[in-house]
Each structure stands twice: as structure tokens, then as C-alpha cells.
Amino acid sequence: MSNRRKVKPTRTPRRTRPPGGAFWNGLHTRAARGTAVVADSPEFPAYWARTEGILGQRIPVVRVELGGVNAGGGTAYLDDRDGSGWRKVTVGHGGPAWPHRDVAIEPGSFTAIEVLS
């Protein structure tokens, strides 16, 4: 039996997410909280906004810039009437475990209130 001690491997620090800011799929991105007018989305026959009867109404939304953080890039608008859109991009880091509802908006109707980058 040896009297040598086993050398413990050095622990690598856990990767932690950076605090603050907006995220999509765990990556930093630009997001803005604001309002917009809900548009119809004819390619979806059971579009949730149509069934809820909010077409043409101005509602709270979150605009998320998807370039570099999601395949295809672009811009997404999330329903934020209950705060779930904002929680997804901040607290949830844009991860799939945090639900959201995409919303189609009238072009040019978005008005920003708070912007994170």
C-alpha cells in the first residue's frame, strides 16, 4: 500500500450565464419592450390572436432581434400582455423551457418603451 496521496484534479469553474441583458437561445441579443398593433396571420388558420379576437388592437409586445442567435435571423415579436415575453428574453435567457407566443404586427406599428442590448 502506497503512502502517496492521490492528486485531486483541478476543478474547472462552471460556466455561468452573464447577468443582465437580453438573450435568445442563451446568446446575447437586442430586445425591446413596447407596444404594437396585432395583424392577421393568414398562413395559420388557427392563429391564436384571431381566436382571441385581438386583431387590430394595440398590445404589449417584445421585439427580439434574431440575427446571429437563431437560424434564419430576422425579428420576432412576442406577446407580452402577461409579462411572459419579457421574462423569456431576460430571466429565461430565451431558452426553450420558457414558453412564448409569437405575434404578427402591423408594419411600422411597434413603439419601443425599454431597450436591452
- Cα separation, 75 vs 87, in Å, equals 18
Q: Map out the domains of the chain as residue ranges.
A: 22-116
Distance CA 87, CA 51 (A): 24
The pTM score is 0.81
User: Given this model, what pLDDT does residue 71 score?
Assistant: 87
Region of poorest pLDDT, from 6-10, 23-27, 39-43, 68-72: 6-10
Cβ-based burial of 86 (10 A; exposed 0-12, middle 13-18, buried ≥19): buried
Q: What is the mean pLDDT of residues 84-104?
A: 95
pLDDT of the residue at 1 = 59
DSSP 18: P
Rounded Cα–Cα distance for residues 107 and 40 (Å): 12
